[in-house]
Amino acid sequence: MGHYPPGIDQLCLFVLFVTFKDNPDDARDALLPAQETRPTGTLKEWFCEDDNLDKEYDAQGAANPNNHRYCAENAYISNDADVPAVLEEAFTTIPHKKAFALWYAMNPCSRRKLPDMALSMQTDHYFALYTIWEDEKDDDRCRGWVRDIMKKVERYSEGAYLGDSDFQVRQTRFWGAMQGKRLMNVRKKWDPEGRICGYLDAGDVSGVNGLTNDHEWKL
């Protein structure tokens, strides 16, 4: 994650490894190679500290505060892309101290064959921007930063996660080609009049046909 940590007035990279084991010794053994080979020069570090769900919820609450302004975007970066080069600007130019950029490794889950329509859009690399600020005067600057970053990043993406996307701003792929067609056919068959709300693209023009499951620059 690229962010400004609490109490540090400097943009930092935060790297976290998580493992699930039956006992602390096995967990320590699993994480030790990462600890022993980490880069030098860290500002802060911890290794195999006890954690619990209460602490995790508190951390999430602090990172995603109420009564703020948000602009979220994301992309599944192509497996053959130079991921550090593609994401460097996003991680080094955060526009507000409460905003952060995130990269998450999806492999090996992304390599599993999944049934039906479940998670049909994914790659080994999930990237997201959570741009958070307080003052309306920063709207154009923060939203513009997200727009500019995504214009560059999306050319190296396969698509995006539907939940953190704004369909009125950016058109991309959200499902595999076959799964997307199947989903739209289900909508047309069981809700031909479009009574159930669609995907709220600009002007809600997609209607019962749903979103065009492709990158906007290819349409």
Residues 6+ apart with CB under 8 A from 202: 167, 168
Is the separation of the CB atoms in 83 and 103 below 8 Å?
yes
Q: Parse the chain into domains and list their residue ranges.
A: 1-63, 65-183
Residue closest to 103 by CA, chosen among 115, 94, 91: 91
Distance CA 154, CA 167 (A): 14
Q: Tell me the three state secondary structure of residue 72.
A: strand
Is pLDDT above 80 for 3?
A: yes
Alpha carbon distances (Å) from 11 to 92, 99, 112, 154, 162: 7, 10, 35, 24, 28
Query: What tens digit of pLDDT does each residue of 73-111 get?
Result: 999 999 999 999 999 999 999 999 999 999 999 999 899
Query: What tens digit of pLDDT does each residue of 166-176 get?
Result: 888 888 999 99
Distance CA 81, CA 108 (A): 17
Query: What tens digit of pLDDT does each residue of 51-78 get?
Result: 888 998 999 999 999 999 999 999 999 9
Please state whether the predicted TM-score (pTM) of the whole model is above 0.75.
Answer: yes
CATH fold for the domain made of 65-183: Vanillyl-alcohol Oxidase; Chain A, domain 3 (3.40.462)
